[in-house]
Structure 1
Amino acid sequence: MYYGGYKPFVGAGQPIKRWANAELLLGVPKSRAGAFGQGLLNGHVPAQHGPADGDGTDGAGRTERKPIIPFTVEDITARVCEEMLAELRDKPAPSDRVELLSVDRRRFSKAVRTAEADDPVAVLLDTPDPDGPDHTGGHWEEDYDARREYLCVRIGAWKQELVTSVFIGFDIKGSTLHTEFYTYVLSPLPKSFHLADRLPATIGGKLMWRIAWDVTLSAPGELLRLIANPLRERLPSRFGTDTVGKLVSQPADTSEFRLGRYALASVDCGALTSVRELAPNRDFHHFFQESDTIKYIQIIERHLLQIVGDFLRDHDVDTREHEANQTNILQQNFGANSTNNFGGNQSVGNTKTTQTFGNNSGVTREARQP
């Protein structure tokens, strides 16, 4: 997907919660104690061996570890995508399934049009095709033309009026697995929009007279808006733009009024918002809509942590750090959502959680631990 402006997740709505986590990729300890602890995490108790196993340390006192079975970002992304669908939609009984669930892999790239030097009317899209082949080797690019892939887990509830989207990204750098977790919600449409469902099926003579009378009364105000809106759009904004520009040589200006003096060298042509994002209410219509948003975010988060933990164990990675981080993240959920204001900013360890829920989004709470 090509996007413009700052946020890549165009169309997802308002941000609700986010956290990031970094885990060192260390092999399972070879010692008997390490193997026993790893076995418990895998759900079984390993067979005990004799003293020949040793204490699992080398001559310098360092813990001896098994080599990690190599894996890539593509491997862990595919595993999460496959098991998320299976655990939430395919395996459960029909009454327990998460309805209207989708899990897609999406690439996001900044879109900038630049003028070609040889052709005054040519337009070049200065970014790679997000849906084309990925040549990044499983790593995220780090430049202005970068594109990055995220898993998008989306759930439509309340007859698709409440849409929760979770974006999950992975990267591996410096023997460290970095995980990003972003959640957005499209809140329900204004109730007045549903009046369209109650309009008459046919327009009769009496209704035509009413429409004509209403149009006549509203004509002066509409005329004023037609004049004022274009002027307001052309006024300079007090906020800066983050458009990525690429300076190019301009073609010869042969226009009668030398309009080339005012032509832009580059234009950010990516999407800034979606039609659906322009319409929703800022507040939920019902308390249960707010609680369902929290519910689905926590369900996806819990399954993600479990799937990643199983994946790491399958590749002989020591998951003690993952288990500790998982506990921190789940405890943050419990602490934030057990309050009356459904809001808060928390930072525990190497995870950061930002939550703003519902009609009380202006109320925040901060809690920090060393």
Structure 2
Amino acid sequence: MSLTEIAMARQPGGGDSQAQGRAPVEPAASEACRLLCAGVHLDGGYRDAVLDELYLHEERFVAPSTGIDAARVLAHALRARRTELGWAVGMLALWISAVPLTSGLFLLLVPPCVLLALAPWITGRSPRAPWYRKAAGFLVLWYGRFLLAGVLVSLVLLGFSGEDPPSEVELVSEGGSLLPGLSGGFDSLAEPGRAWAALILFLLIMVGVGLRRGQFARVMTNELSARRFPEVSSDPAELASGARYQRLRARIRAEQHAPLVMYHSANPFRGVGEPFRPWTLAVELRPRKDRKPVPVDNGEILRRIVPLLEALRVPSPHGSPEAADAVRDRLRELRVDECVFLPVDGLTRRDGAPYDDASFGPHRDGSVEEGGEARRHFLRIRVGGWHEELVVTVFVRVHTQGGMLMLEVAPHVLMPVRPQFREADRVAHRYLNNSFIGKAAWALAHAPESMGQALLALVRYLVSAWELLTGGQAGALPDGPAVSVRELGSDSEASLFQEMDVSRYLKSVEDRVAGGVRLALYEAGWQTAEFEQKIVNVANGGVFIETAQDSAIGIGDHNSVSNRNEGAGSSNGRD
């Protein structure tokens, strides 16, 4: 029986539904998962990263998918790529066929389209881009718009007049300096019929751009809508065929939420976010004078912690059961379980990892007390807030050795989903409810980018297909996860409310962990004064560091605590 099962059996009222708390939403139906599925339709770079990690490199174990279902994100990534590939082939066919169909007159549209496509790249995506990049992007953007307007007006005038190209065409072809010397060549070709053909073909390109945005809007209002997304079985992306996808989907869902974590040595905690002030505390076990102490092992200490943590689910008295049940605090959805970290070294097949209960049980039981280096046992406490967009995970490890007790606490915070993905519903709603003129204006503004986007999409697909064909990933030795789908889709910042919630969750969990260790020591007949004093130092920030990597932590008599990133140190006196 595991630690959490023992603790629940010993906890008074352990079978009470209120003490059990409230179950969080299923990962496959969470809001965070929905937004990441929207993200693979919106952002080609994010989609490629998902496909590279989960579909191409099938030798890699999937990172823990905190609050989401990575298999469902993969399904939508594959669907989005198929849709984009079909669109890209159609758009390239239009751009390429337009040149011979207009006897080269369509090439007049290429220079302004290239400028308009380059303008966003020059400016950059960062809102904090340097002023010179913003200025250069602004100039290129408006110069491209001026040239495009000149070409379109010239073609319209030519189509109605039936005469040689007016001065506007000459201005674009000669004064634009991007197609020098072509004016004379186009004079003999610029017939009204070809001018109308060029305009019609450009209109078809606009229609293609509009259809692509309309298709995304329909996906957001149907299978990815907040109302329909929880119905996993009816998601068209889940019905995708292909033996490779079906095999990978089964593996991902077997691994992503399992208590066994197969890790890469470069980042064992990949998938749960950034480290948030991890700390270690060491105290010497000294017997109390009023009684003879009894030995305490790691499992016994952890068993004392679990009931105190699970009590955080219970709402405070509110006068009635109904009022208490209406409390929406995310601590009611707190989850406590055990996990074992295992390195992938030594495995010859990905399906050889001990994920089944019969194989995992010995690993769990053996790792609790052994204090090993590669195989590590943790108590994992998790709180998912803001519809699983903000996830706090605290890993707790206890180790007793040589009359010392070591308490390791490693909090991690998974930040909210990218703002671009959170805007997906607004983008779809704005487009669907826009007027015909508004949709046409949007398509006109984005049509110049379509040639580059279509070409890039086709190149990315061909590169991925070549790597899949020649990379040999299917027969490669198993490897740990290189990236996390959830982390790749996360923002770098949180709102003030979210930061306040992170602080509250962590303080609540860390206080209960410390209380459980203190109780275990006291009831076993050991002194707790030193432990209590050092916990006060931890609460005051005395041992917090930004990361545990390449850092040393020491607490006690005349020890020095320093943060390598800051290069500063502080000394603790005798406590």
> TM-score per shorter chain, which class?
0.5 to 0.7
Please report how far the alpha carbon of residue 89 of structure 1 lies from its aligned counterpart in structure 2 after TM superposition: 1.0
1:26–1:125 distance in 2 versus 1, CA, 3 Å? farther
Gaps of 5+ in 2: 1-260, 318-323, 546-550
The count of corresponding residues between Structure 1 and Structure 2 is: 285
1:8–1:130 distance in 2 versus 1, CA, 3 Å? farther
1:104 matches 2:340: no
Q: Which residue of 1 aligns with 2:533?
A: 324
* Alignment match of 1:20 (pick from 280, 290, 302): 280
Question: Is the CA contact 2:339–2:378 (under 8 Å) kept in the aligned structure 1?
Answer: yes
Separation in 2 of the partners of 1:272 and 1:365?
A: 30
Q: Which residue of 1 aligns with 2:303?
A: 78
Look up the equivalent residue of 1:69 and give its one-letter code.
V
Question: Is the CA contact 1:28–1:316 (under 8 Å) kept in the aligned structure 2?
Answer: yes
1:194 matches 2:194: no
Please report how far the alpha carbon of residue 353 of structure 1 lies from its aligned counterpart in structure 2 after TM superposition: 8.2
Look up the equivalent residue of 2:378 and give its one-letter code.
Y
Report the more deviating stretch, 128-137 or 172-181: 128-137
Separation in 2 of the partners of 1:263 and 1:154?
A: 33
Q: Secondary structure at the match of 2:276?
A: strand
Please report how far the alpha carbon of residue 19 of structure 1 lies from its aligned counterpart in structure 2 after TM superposition: 0.5
Separation in 1 of the partners of 2:552 and 2:332?
A: 31
Please report how far the alpha carbon of residue 129 of structure 1 lies from its aligned counterpart in structure 2 after TM superposition: 4.8
Q: Which residue of 2 aligns with 1:148?
A: 376
Between Structure 1 and Structure 2, the one with more strand by share is: 1
1:225–1:124 distance in 2 versus 1, CA, 3 Å? closer
Question: Is the CA contact 2:279–2:544 (under 8 Å) kept in the aligned structure 1?
Answer: no
1:299 matches 2:501: no
Q: Secondary structure at the match of 1:171?
A: strand
Please report how far the alpha carbon of residue 366 of structure 1 lies from its aligned counterpart in structure 2 after TM superposition: 3.9
Separation in 2 of the partners of 1:20 and 1:166?
A: 13
1:170 matches 2:398: yes
Please report how far the alpha carbon of residue 25 of structure 1 lies from its aligned counterpart in structure 2 after TM superposition: 1.9
* Alignment match of 1:281 (pick from 484, 488, 491): 491
> Which string of whole-angstrom CA distances, capped at 9 and with x for unpartnered residues, describes residues 304-349 of structure 1?
112211111111111122122112112227x989xxxxxxx99662
Separation in 1 of the partners of 2:535 and 2:498?
A: 26
Please report how far the alpha carbon of residue 263 of structure 1 lies from its aligned counterpart in structure 2 after TM superposition: 9.9
Please report how far the alpha carbon of residue 151 of structure 1 lies from its aligned counterpart in structure 2 after TM superposition: 1.4
Q: Percentage identity across aligned positions?
A: 23
Between Structure 1 and Structure 2, the one with more helix by share is: 2
Look up the equivalent residue of 2:343 and give its one-letter code.
K
Q: Secondary structure at the match of 2:394?
A: strand
Separation in 1 of the partners of 2:432 and 2:346?
A: 46
Question: Is the CA contact 1:11–1:276 (under 8 Å) kept in the aligned structure 2?
Answer: yes
Q: Which residue of 2 aligns with 1:10?
A: 270
Separation in 2 of the partners of 1:137 and 1:4?
A: 18
Q: Secondary structure at the match of 1:302?
A: helix
Separation in 1 of the partners of 2:423 and 2:474?
A: 43
Look up the equivalent residue of 2:455 and give its one-letter code.
L
Separation in 2 of the partners of 1:352 and 1:16?
A: 21
Separation in 2 of the partners of 1:279 and 1:171?
A: 35
Question: Is the CA contact 2:284–2:405 (under 8 Å) kept in the aligned structure 1?
Answer: yes
Q: Secondary structure at the match of 1:267?
A: coil
1:110–1:223 distance in 2 versus 1, CA, 3 Å? farther
Look up the equivalent residue of 1:218 and give its one-letter code.
S
Q: Which residue of 1 aligns with 2:188?
A: none
Look up the equivalent residue of 1:288 and give its one-letter code.
F
Separation in 2 of the partners of 1:5 and 1:347?
A: 21
Q: Secondary structure at the match of 2:278?
A: strand
1:222–1:183 distance in 2 versus 1, CA, 3 Å? farther
1:160–1:349 distance in 2 versus 1, CA, 3 Å? same
TM-score between the two structures when normalised by the length of structure 1: 0.62
Question: Is the CA contact 1:161–1:189 (under 8 Å) kept in the aligned structure 2?
Answer: yes
TM-score between the two structures when normalised by the length of structure 2: 0.42
Separation in 1 of the partners of 2:382 and 2:540?
A: 24
Q: How does 1:1-370 map to 2 (within 5 A)?
A: 1-29=261-289, 35=290, 66-86=291-311, 88-90=312-314, 92-93=316-317, 94=324, 95=327, 98-112=331-345, 114-115=347-348, 123=349, 129=355, 132-134=360-362, 135-136=365-366, 138-140=368-370, 142=372, 146-198=374-426, 199-200=428-429, 217-224=449-456, 227=459, 267-284=477-494, 286-332=495-541, 349-350=555-556, 366-370=568-572
Look up the equivalent residue of 1:82 and give its one-letter code.
P
Separation in 2 of the partners of 1:327 and 1:208?
A: 61
Separation in 2 of the partners of 1:208 and 1:181?
A: 53
Q: Which residue of 1 aligns with 2:172?
A: none
Question: Is the CA contact 2:514–2:535 (under 8 Å) kept in the aligned structure 1?
Answer: yes
Separation in 1 of the partners of 2:533 and 2:368?
A: 26
1:305–1:352 distance in 2 versus 1, CA, 3 Å? farther
Please report how far the alpha carbon of residue 266 of structure 1 lies from its aligned counterpart in structure 2 after TM superposition: 6.9
> Which string of whole-angstrom CA distances, capped at 9 and with x for unpartnered residues, describes residues 86-144 of structure 1?
1x1126334595233111211111124655xxxxxxx377765596123526324535x
Separation in 2 of the partners of 1:196 and 1:208?
A: 17
Please report how far the alpha carbon of residue 67 of structure 1 lies from its aligned counterpart in structure 2 after TM superposition: 3.3
1:141–1:177 distance in 2 versus 1, CA, 3 Å? closer
